[in-house]
């Protein structure tokens, strides 16, 4: 009998350009690389059919589906990544964008070299603004923000917001390489003087180049981005049933592993996106659950964690309850010929490995799916932490995920 779980280095894509097309738009933690989605589409895609990504993040699978020729629906509870995913997949005509970029260049040139006081621009309400930004950075970000707010074309405005979001975070006092909001050391603050306008214009130029390449490849398909939360039994708009699911769910509860909400909060508040401070709390495993988690491959690991730290075990259990609820919802809205592809990592908590890949396989089997294969790939280029602190003791760390699993299941005929 052939083992359905196997390692395949051809899925590592070590030397591949992961920033092609609109994939170049914005950094984000633990992004699925486009080559994985592309290869899965080549194997299981249905041209003219519908793809679902229930945890779409910044839209990697949606971009790839639209270039392959599948309609797509992406769901995410984070308002910033929904904006990014929309900007990646709903481009404005280049000639209209270029007109706005020319006007913007003139406005920034005037702001850079005129004697007018940039403080005339309205400053938004950002929690602890002075703690995270210098006065000069606030002034110049406010100038950019005011211009973007004046743009009526939504597609153009979203394109500009994406570059602005990345600029705001890069020009803040946040420490490089951190997902959570961590301020850079005090000794670096006085010397930190970023070129706000220059950074913003560089990101616009990079994103415009990626957008032009994407427009040439994009098929005439529909792409929807929604705030649907499948873990709460919500179903997305669009297709009545989906032919393919390609997704990479969170590795675990955001409060203890990858803090997506913290990573996004400063930019989201500058832009004025609603509920930006709630993301980590309403994400999978973000709040305690009293639902039922059947005996499954993760049960022994959870019990081992419970013996060490009961609170952490409850957090882990809440995540898997939410993940199971989400899978149940997805199973109910997919077609009879559907293939589901989950890119997951087997995280470690308190030194205990949680077999999330086996949990996904087992849960889909409960809802009428057969396991086709699990491909194990190395993670050479995914932006995520390589170590954590299981004991919360300074200096004592444990390795996190160096591999991830692509779990492929198909509905039983």
Task: List Cα–Cα distances, 56 to 101, 174, 221, 386, in angstroms.
Answer: 28, 25, 17, 23
- DSSP class of residue 163 equals H
Whether the model clears a pTM of 0.85, i.e. scores above it, the answer is yes
Contact 264, 26 (CB under 8 A): no
Name, in order, each residue with C-beta under 8 angstroms of 158's C-beta and a sequence gap of 6 or more: 83, 86, 87, 90
Kindly give the pairing relationship between strand 398-399 and strand 387-388: antiparallel
Close Cβ partners of 79 (under 8 Å, ≥ 6 residues apart): 227, 268, 273, 274, 275, 276, 279
Q: What angle do CA 38, 42, 44 make, to 5 degrees?
A: 110
DSSP 22: G
Looking at residue 320, its pLDDT comes to: 95
Cα-based distances in Å from 246 to 9, 138, 326, 347, 401: 20, 39, 14, 20, 20
DSSP letter for 367, please. Answer: T
* Whole-number Å distance between alpha carbons of 151 and 369: 48
Angle at the Cα of 319 (from 315 to 322), degrees rounded to 5? Answer: 135
Q: In this structure, are residues 190 and 127 in contact, taking their beta carbons and an 8 Å threshold? A: no
Per-residue model confidence (pLDDT) at position 8: 94
Helices of type H across 176-232: 186-189, 196-217
In angstroms, the CA 248 to CA 284 distance is 13
Residue among 84, 158, 173, 85 at smallest CA distance from 126: 173
Confidence (pLDDT) at 87: 98
**CA–CA gap between residue 68 and residue 217 (Å, rounded):** 9
Spell out, as residue ranges, where the chain has pLDDT lower than 50. 1, 386-399
Q: What's residue 383's pLDDT?
A: 54
Cβ-based neighbours of 128, under 8 Å, separated by 6 or more: none
CA dist 39 and 401 (Å) reads 22
Enumerate helices (H) and strands (E) in the chain, giving the number of each.
Answer: 14, 12
- Tell me what pLDDT residue 396 has: 44
Estimate the crossing angle of helix 260-271 against helix 135-149, to 10 degrees.
70
Q: What is the pLDDT of residue 276?
A: 77
Closest among 305, 219, 206 to 45, alpha carbons compared? 219
Q: What gap in Å lies between CA 214 and CA 216, rounded to an integer?
A: 5
Whose structure tokens read 């990858």? 258
Residue 119 confidence (pLDDT): 52
The 10s digit of each residue's pLDDT in 343-369 is: 999 999 999 999 999 999 999 999 999
pLDDT at 386: 47
Q: Which pLDDT value is given to residue 29?
A: 86
Nearest to residue 328, comparing CAs of 233, 241, 243, 264? 233
Structure confidence at residue 373 (pLDDT): 97
- CA torsion sign for 334, 214, 147, 125 is positive
The domains of the chain, with CATH numbers, are 5-91+218-411 (3.40.50.150), 94-212 (no CATH)
The per-residue pLDDT for range 84-98, each reduced to its tens digit, is 999 999 999 999 999
Q: Which of 20, 17, 48, 35 is nearest to 214 (CA)?
A: 20
Burial pattern 129-146, b for ≥16 Cβ within 10 A else e, equals beebbbeebbbbbbbbbb
Instruction: Using DSSP, state whether 8 is helix, strand or coil.
Output: coil
């Amino acid at each position: 009998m052939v083992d359905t779980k196997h390692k395949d280095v051809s899925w590592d894509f070590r030397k591949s350009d992961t920033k092609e097309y609109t994939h170049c738009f914005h950094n984000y933690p633990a992004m699925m690389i486009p080559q994985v989605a592309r290869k899965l589409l080549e194997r299981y895609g249905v041209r003219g059919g519908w793809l679902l990504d229930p945890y779409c993040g910044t839209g990697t699978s949606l971009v790839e589906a639209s270039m392959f020729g599948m309609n797509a629906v992406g769901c995410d509870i984070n308002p910033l990544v929904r904006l990014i995913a929309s900007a990646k997949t709903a481009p404005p005509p280049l000639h209209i964008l270029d007109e706005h970029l020319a006007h913007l260049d003139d406005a920034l040139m005037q702001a850079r070299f005129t004697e007018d006081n940039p403080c005339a621009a309205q400053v938004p309400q950002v929690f602890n603004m002075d703690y995270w930004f210098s006065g000069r950075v606030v002034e110049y970000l406010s100038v950019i923000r005011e211009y973007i707010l004046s743009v009526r074309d939504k597609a153009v405005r979203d394109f500009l917001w994406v570059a602005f979001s990345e600029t705001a975070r890069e020009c803040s006092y946040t420490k490089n390489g951190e997902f959570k909001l961590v301020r850079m050391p005090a000794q670096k603050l006085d010397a930190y003087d970023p070129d706000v306008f220059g950074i913003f214009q560089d990101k616009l130029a990079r994103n415009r180049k990626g957008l032009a390449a994407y427009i040439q490849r994009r098929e005439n398909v529909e792409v929807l981005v929604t705030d649907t939360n499948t873990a709460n039994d919500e179903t997305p708009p669009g297709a009545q049933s989906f032919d393919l699911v390609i997704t990479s769910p969170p590795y675990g509860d955001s409060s203890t592993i990858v803090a997506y909400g913290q990573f996004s909060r400063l930019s989201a508040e500058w832009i004025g996106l609603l509920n930006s401070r709630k993301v980590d709390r309403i994400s999978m495993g973000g709040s305690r659950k009293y639902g039922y988690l059947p005996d499954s491959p993760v049960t022994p690991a959870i019990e081992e964690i419970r013996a060490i730290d009961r609170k952490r075990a409850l957090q882990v259990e809440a995540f898997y309850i939410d993940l199971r609820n989400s899978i149940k919802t997805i199973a109910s809205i997919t077609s009879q010929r559907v293939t589901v592809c989950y890119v997951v990592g087997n995280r470690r908590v308190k030194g205990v490995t949680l077999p999330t890949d086996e949990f996904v396989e087992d849960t889909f089997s409960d809802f009428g799916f057969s396991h086709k294969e699990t491909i194990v790939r190395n993670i050479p280029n995914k932006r995520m932490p390589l170590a954590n602190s299981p004991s919360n003791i300074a200096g004592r760390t444990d390795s996190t995920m160096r591999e991830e699993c692509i779990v492929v299941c198909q509905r039983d005929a």
